[in-house]
Structure 1
Amino acid sequence: MGIMARKVILYLAQSLDGFIAEPDGSTAWLGALGSSAADDAYQRFYAGIDCVLMGRKTYQRALRLAGSYPYSDKESYVFSTNLHDTDDPTTVVAGNVPAFVRKLKEHKGKDIWLVGGADIFTELLEANLVDELIITVAPVLLGDGISLVASGIQNVNLHLSKVEKLDQLTALHYDVCGSNK
């Protein structure tokens, strides 16, 4: 039996109308929902990963929200061409994102969390490097904001594998079947 490759999993919350943040990047609306079931689901997910990937904007937003880097107990990579140094255990990667992630998936370890960045997510999805999406839908309508994917994404097939009710939120688990190009 062969070694099972690590999965890259996009795990995030979005509003019912499909936004992952307000236009200014704020996710205060999410914190206001206060769901212990969603918090427990997050803790279970977090225990199953040992690596975190994100884009520069997501990284800087996480620092602003938490005051310090919130994932210092995990191997962490930030994809950026203009961020060069960090004061935390994060490694900045400026090269070919799909090639880097392909190599990372081959290393032994737990699953890999793609925290965010619509451009990074779209690039990895189109390179068939995202294995699963866990999208927690919050019962709020933002009307405008930052979308889950960058514009111009090709048709990608997903398979709904699980639905979880987390108080007033709903976690949708999708396996990525690949692009329909």
Structure 2
Amino acid sequence: MKKIILNLAVTLDGFIEGPKGEVDWCIMDDDMNFPDFLKSVDTIFYGRISYDEWGNYQADENADAAEKEMWNEIHSKNKFVFSSQNREDKNAVFISSDIIDKVNEVKNQPGRDIWLYGGANLIKTFINLNLIDVYKISVHPVALGSGKPLFENLSQRIALKLTDTRVFKSGVVELTYQPE
């Protein structure tokens, strides 16, 4: 069965976005080996706002080859968008009801794992429904003071078991947890 992996950057003070939605504090080091993570998944789960912003994003024509390749790899994945809007989109399947059943249906398909991309509302929903199999949280060495927190309005306490840590040259620390 596929696993749902929340792979997400967070600030030292626990925010996934700044107060105006900014993510310019996010660091992408070569030693993070993000391309290997992308190869480990064949599906991406988006919230509607994140999908509208990033689901079909194209790198600037002046972007380097690595960035263009990364976005091409992201766009090669199966995309599911969780939204109250049920719209037609040639690049994604929109899911507006029966979240648990639809998620389990996708998890039971053959293939690689699933990246829970976000945004914040979808992540909260998945946390509260206990749908996340792996939490891969990269803590960035910056404090914003305000913004969108990762863990907010939890319906219950989440017990997690640390399964791996990695430290990168930038000072980013990746913590990998599984629910207990």
Question: Does TM-score exceed 0.5, indicating one fold?
Answer: yes
Contact 1:9 1:133 in 2 (8 A): yes
Instruction: Give the gaps of 5 or more residues in structure 1.
Output: none
Judging changes above 3 Å, is the alpha-carbon distance between structure 1 residues 65 and 27 closer, same or farther for their aligned structure 2 residues? farther
TM-score (norm 2): 0.84
Higher strand share: 1
Judging changes above 3 Å, is the alpha-carbon distance between structure 1 residues 49 and 63 closer, same or farther for their aligned structure 2 residues? closer
Aligned to 1:132: 134
Deviation per CA, 1:14-45, whole angstroms, max 9, x where unpaired? 11000011122221121xx352212x1x1111
- Large movers: runs of 4+ above 4 Å: 63-68
What's the % identity of the aligned pairs? 29
Give the C-alpha shift of residue 154 in structure 1: 1.1
Residue correspondence of structure 1 range 106-121 to structure 2 within 5 A: 106-121=108-123
Judging changes above 3 Å, is the alpha-carbon distance between structure 1 residues 129 and 64 closer, same or farther for their aligned structure 2 residues? closer
Deviation per CA, 1:92-115, whole angstroms, max 9, x where unpaired? 111122221011111111000000
Contact 1:25 1:61 in 2 (8 A): no
One of 13, 33, 37 as aligned partner of 2:31:
37
Aligned length: 167
- 2:48 partner amino acid: R
Instruction: Give the gaps of 5 or more residues in structure 2.
Output: 61-70
Aligned to 1:58: 50
CA RMSD for the aligned pairs?
2.0
Aligned to 2:66: none
Judging changes above 3 Å, is the alpha-carbon distance between structure 1 residues 129 and 63 closer, same or farther for their aligned structure 2 residues? closer
TM-score (norm 1): 0.84
In structure 1, the residue corresponding to 2:75 is in which secondary structure?
Answer: coil
